[in-house]
Amino acid sequence: MKFLVVDDSATMRRIVVNSLQRIGFTNCVEAADGIEALAKFDSTIAFVITDWNMPNMSGTELVQALRQRDDGRTVPVLMVTARSVREDIITALEAGVNNYIVKPFTPQVLKEKIESLIVAPAA
Amino acid sequence: MTMANERAADLMYDTASTLRLLDAELGELAPRRPTDAGALPPTSPSAAAAAAAIGATDRVLPLLPALFVRAMGEVHSMLASIRTGREHIRAATTERLAHTNEKLTEVSSATAHAALDIMDALDRAIIKVDELETEDVLADATKGTAIRDDLRNELFAVMGHMQFQDITSQQIMHVQSLLAEMEGRLADIANLFDHQAGDSAAAPATSVMAERTHKDSHSFDPNASLADAETRQALADSLVGRGSTGG
């Protein structure tokens, strides 16, 4: 199962990728903003984990763009962000985000949210 | 704020025009005053000039009170406008400075908190390493496996605590944006009183800062925080749950 991890913070990308590896998902592609993510997204990507606040293209804009594409219409998107105001969370969900994690997070929370969005976790 | 600045600038311009007019009128009088015509022979060319000057004075003097009243009124309006603008600036700047201070305190606190968490995790990891070297554990492979798992968890926790770097960098970017905004306000004030200095010195520095701030403005959440993560996650979970059940 291939993950696309999108965050402008290299530290956060590394933390998310390491957390995924620890859970058992070792196939990850990284992007630093929405534009790079769209360029790297293809039908082999099975799951997207994205930050909200990024330069050039935000996480919500990325999700909206993905939902316009045939190959991105149904891909599970998990937003991992520091934004935690009620209105923000609703905005993200309305943009097409499937689940939401507030930073800072624990690996256990990440695991739970991923498992809630996929039929069967990678072996 | 911008309207107050424009109003003050307009008033300054009007006042400057009035004062220039006043200056021109007074200038006409000035060269003639020292050679007051009374002491000169009535037939000399100087006497004729003095007589003309007296005539000009007679024409101009009645206008002076009106000019002074107009100039005074405009100066008064300008001062009132500046006072209003100053109050706006003071209120906004004080509030933002307090917020800036609050954010920097939060950054300092978050950094200290994360550093302590990391130190605690490393302390526990060192204890696990020591345990691995005890004879008891060396003789029992099962115990060794359990301790190594604990050790991995502690080291992984250290990595998790590094999330503070992302949060604090967003808080610092927010502080930078507030400082850039205050710098812009100060530049506006400087430009108001000295257009020339504003054009040549203040404006370029401000525009660079403003450009950078605008570019970074999408890269941070002004409310980013390490505090109450569990409560905030619970709110997100409830909203996601409501969405998935159509509520």
Grade residue B233 by pLDDT with cuts at 50, 70 and 90.
very high
Candidates A39, A49, A93, A110; CA nearest to A75 is: A49
Is A122 inside any structural domain?
Answer: no
Grade residue B194 by pLDDT with cuts at 50, 70 and 90.
low
pTM: 0.69
| pLDDT > 70: percent of chain B | 74
Nearest CA in chain B to A90: B239
Q: Total domain count for chain A?
A: 1
3-state secondary structure of A20: helix
Please indicate if any CB of chain A lies within 8 Å of the CB of B212. no
Is A58 inside any structural domain?
Answer: yes
- Residues B138-176 have pLDDT tens digits of 888 888 899 999 999 899 889 888 888 888 988 899 888
Q: What value of ipTM does the predicted structure carry?
A: 0.85
For residues A73 and A63, what is the distance between their CA atoms, to the nearest angstrom?
A: 9
CB count in 10 Å sphere of residue A114: 24
Kindly give, in sequence order, each residue whose CB lies less than 8 Å from that of residue A56, ignoring residues fewer than 6 positions away. A33, A34, A35, B218
For the segment B192-211, the average pLDDT, to the nearest whole number, is: 55
Contact call for residues A96 and A77 (beta carbons, < 8 A): yes
User: Which one is predicted more confidently, A123 or B50?
Assistant: B50
Candidates A64, B86, B7; CA nearest to A79 is: A64
Is A49 inside any structural domain?
Answer: yes
For residues B22 and A32, what is the distance between their CA atoms, to the nearest angstrom?
A: 64
CATH number at residue A99: 3.40.50.2300
Domain span including residue A92 = 2-115
Which pLDDT value is given to residue B240? 92
Grade residue A116 by pLDDT with cuts at 50, 70 and 90.
very high
Half-sphere exposure (CA, 13 Å, Cβ side) for A4? Answer: 28
Is A74 inside any structural domain?
Answer: yes
Which pLDDT value is given to residue B37? 47
Partner residue facing A86 (CB), from B164, B170, B235 = B235
Collect all residues of chain A within an 8 Å Cβ-Cβ radius of residue B151.
none
Cβ–Cβ below 8 Å for B240 and A90: no
For the segment A13-20, the average pLDDT, to the nearest whole number, is: 94
Cβ–Cβ below 8 Å for A103 and B166: yes
Cβ–Cβ below 8 Å for B221 and A52: yes
Collect all residues of chain B within an 8 Å Cβ-Cβ radius of residue A15.
159-160, 162-163
**Tokens of residue B102, six digits:** 């609050």
Residue A25 has pLDDT above 90, yes or no: yes
Size of interface A-B (CB pairs under 8 A): 91
Which pLDDT value is given to residue A120? 44
Collect all residues of chain A within an 8 Å Cβ-Cβ radius of residue B170.
53, 82
For the segment B60-83, the average pLDDT, to the nearest whole number, is: 84
Is A120 inside any structural domain?
Answer: no
For residues A17 and A31, what is the distance between their CA atoms, to the nearest angstrom?
A: 12
- Residues B205-232 have pLDDT tens digits of 555 566 666 656 778 888 888 888 889 9
Q: Looking at CA atoms only, how far is residue B182 from chain A in angstroms?
A: 23
Contact call for residues A90 and B236 (beta carbons, < 8 A): no
Residue B187 has pLDDT above 90, yes or no: no
Is A79 inside any structural domain?
Answer: yes
Cβ–Cβ below 8 Å for B223 and A82: yes
**Tokens of residue A27, six digits:** 């196939």
User: Which one is predicted more confidently, A86 or B48?
Assistant: A86
Is A21 inside any structural domain?
Answer: yes
For residues A50 and A6, what is the distance between their CA atoms, to the nearest angstrom?
A: 5
Residue B92 has pLDDT above 80, yes or no: no
Please indicate if any CB of chain A lies within 8 Å of the CB of B160. yes
